[in-house]
Structure 1
Amino acid sequence: MSTPQPPMPQTAPEWQAARPGYTSPIPVVRTHLGHALASEWTKIRSVRSTMWTLGVFVLLVVGIGLLTGLVVSSQDADLGGESPLGLGFFGLLLGSMCLITLGVLTTASEYGTGMIRTTMVACPSRARVLTAKAIVFFLVAFVVTLVSATLIGVLHVAMLEGNGAKDPSGGEWLKGTVGVSLYLALLGTLSLAVGSIIRHSAGAITIMIGALLAPLVIALFMFSESLKDVQQALFEYSIPNQMSVFYANSLSESGPSGWDPVWIMLSITAAALAGAFALLEKRDV
């Protein structure tokens, strides 16, 4: 009987012998918030909902603003030294519903389509994902609102120069453009947070539209004297009234003034985002 021979050691191929270790040509990069921001920017500019909502927003702000300016100038109405910037309020109020819709869709639509699973696999840090969504949306909403409000403001000043309108001061320009843009961008970001909490597009949009219109509508039908204080509070802190503060056309003599609406909306949005972050870490995707 022949004795079994030990197995011969296998020799590596020539190409592997020359390269003792394999190094992938794909670089390993530690991900950070910048990558999440780039991803969310790609998403928000490539989906049709962004083009539709922002397109309708610009159409409402500029279209209604132009229509209002044309009506006032054609009737030779005397503005009595008032700033013409206030005429842009009507278009911005209706346009705010477009920003609310886009803010909700930025988060809630991914839950409806199931794409949120892919997003979380690509970026396991859930807080980073929500942070990137909020930053990208806020900047987009702010820039679009600022450009639209500035454009219609310039047109109103030019159109109503002969109607007794005063030339707006620097402070009025700042509030009527930057101030109202900050407020509406924060309102849209609040909608984004509500969309993340509700995780249902139709439900979150309904809640935000109700928050926009319901307080003012309810206050209009409070005729009882015992509810006078409640009615006044609803008037003062309703979203339309807070928006009108930026044009010095408040619906009430008391309540928020100056830049107060921005700080109020900032506080509410921060609280909603904190709740969204907490729930996002606890829930299953």
Structure 2
Amino acid sequence: MSTPQHPAPQAAAPAWQAGQPGPGYAAPGGHPGYTSPIPVVRTHLGHALASEWTKIRSVRSTMWTLGVFVLLVVGIGLLTSLLVAANTTEGDLSGENPLSFGFFGLLLGSMCLITLGVMTTASEYGTGMIRTTMVACPSRGRVLAAKGIVFFSVAFVVTLVSAGIIAMVDVALFTDAREPSAGEWLKGTVGVSLYMALLGLLSLAVGSVIRHSAGAITIMIALVLAPLVIALFMFSSSLEDLRQALFEYSIPNQLSVFYSNSLTESGPSGWDPLWIALGVTAVAFAAAFSLLEKRDV
């Protein structure tokens, strides 16, 4: 009598091959499953700010550019004050605002902030690091906002310290000049620092739009110098109105308004240059945000 043959038992297929959740599957509804030891954190603007702060303080060009800026603002401002003090007699400056001698250093120093603002965005496109940045933070608007906030904060603080130093030196040096009022102190330190930081922020937006460092820097330097230079060579009487407008709204003249020493009798006055700079920068940032969302990185 033959013994019936039974098929040999087969090993059970792994759960993942049978279409069942495997050990690496986190089942919904509270069922036990694998839990990653790496915490999952929802990213926000604070993370982007920390990233951009790390970038801007770890790049050597930032320290060099800001170092030259401080040297120009304080050095040129102090040199100008010493030259004026050496070539004036007592009583010549009785009606002058001593803070106004910081104008020349800030005008030259603006080139440094323009360069740094452009490099904050455009340099990443030149090196290709912008791809890594966008992978780490897919929200492009958040990246640009973080860059703007970090840069504006750095530019404002450095300018405020530099302008404050030269302002205090000038007041101590020109004892025969009139004492600046509280409003003049505010405009000559905080006001001019806000304006300079906005000028650098405008450069950052232009760098994001152009995506080329040399091109964006050239555009911004032309914006600072070209209106005043062009106006100097407009001799025709038919162009008098245009010539006057170029003088009034040129950046050097707007900068001088903060020291109540406008180059023209009409045009912006008081805090007008700050509102103009704020409006232009807002338009440039709106364009940068729009193009950033539409174009490839």
Could you tell me which residue of structure 1 aligns to residue 109 of structure 2?
95
1:219 aligned to 206, 231, 247, which one? 231
User: Counterpart of 1:86 in 2: which secondary structure?
Assistant: helix
User: Counterpart of 1:277 in 2: which secondary structure?
Assistant: helix
Q: CA deviation at 1:199?
A: 0.1
| 1:176-215 deviation per Cα after TM superposition (whole angstroms, max 9, x unaligned) | 0011101010000000000000000000000000000000
Could you tell me which residue of structure 2 aligns to residue 9 of structure 1?
12
1:155 aligned to 163, 166, 169, which one? 169
2:150 aligned to 136, 151, 160, which one? 136
Amino acid at match of 2:75: G
- Aligned mates of 1:51, 1:204 — CA distance in 2: 21
Aligned CA RMSD, in angstroms, stands at: 1.5
Could you tell me which residue of structure 2 aligns to residue 114 of structure 1?
128
2:100 aligned to 61, 86, 101, which one? 86
Q: CA deviation at 1:159?
A: 1.0
TM-score when normalising by structure 1 = 0.94
Q: CA deviation at 1:3?
A: 4.1
User: Counterpart of 1:255 in 2: which secondary structure?
Assistant: coil
| 1:199-210 mapped onto 2 (5 Å cutoff) | 199-210=211-222
Indicate yes or no: 2:67 matched with 1:64: no
User: Counterpart of 1:87 in 2: which secondary structure?
Assistant: helix
Q: CA deviation at 1:10?
A: 6.9
Could you tell me which residue of structure 1 aligns to residue 252 of structure 2?
240
Q: CA deviation at 1:158?
A: 0.6
- Aligned mates of 2:84, 2:9 — CA distance in 1: 102
- Aligned mates of 2:256, 2:8 — CA distance in 1: 94
- Aligned mates of 2:186, 2:119 — CA distance in 1: 30
Could you tell me which residue of structure 2 aligns to residue 47 of structure 1?
59
Amino acid at match of 2:71: L
TM-score when normalising by structure 2 = 0.90
Indicate yes or no: 2:291 matched with 1:279: yes
Q: CA deviation at 1:49?
A: 1.3
Q: CA deviation at 1:9?
A: 3.1
Amino acid at match of 2:114: I
Q: CA deviation at 1:267?
A: 0.3
Q: Percent identity?
A: 78
List structure 1 runs of 4+ shifted beyond 6 angstroms: none
User: Counterpart of 1:251 in 2: which secondary structure?
Assistant: coil
User: Counterpart of 2:156 in 1: which secondary structure?
Assistant: helix
| 1:14-70 deviation per Cα after TM superposition (whole angstroms, max 9, x unaligned) | xx8xxx633222111000000000000000011011111110000000001111111
Q: CA deviation at 1:5?
A: 2.8
Q: Where in structure 2 are there 5+ consecutive unaligned residues?
A: 16-22, 24-31
Larger Rg: 2
Amino acid at match of 1:211: L
Q: CA deviation at 1:89?
A: 0.1
- Aligned mates of 1:21, 1:194 — CA distance in 2: 50
User: Counterpart of 2:10 in 1: which secondary structure?
Assistant: coil
Do the aligned partners of residues 11 and 85 (structure 1) sit closer, same or farther apart at CA in structure 2, a change above 3 Å counting? same
What is the number of residues matched between the two proteins? 277
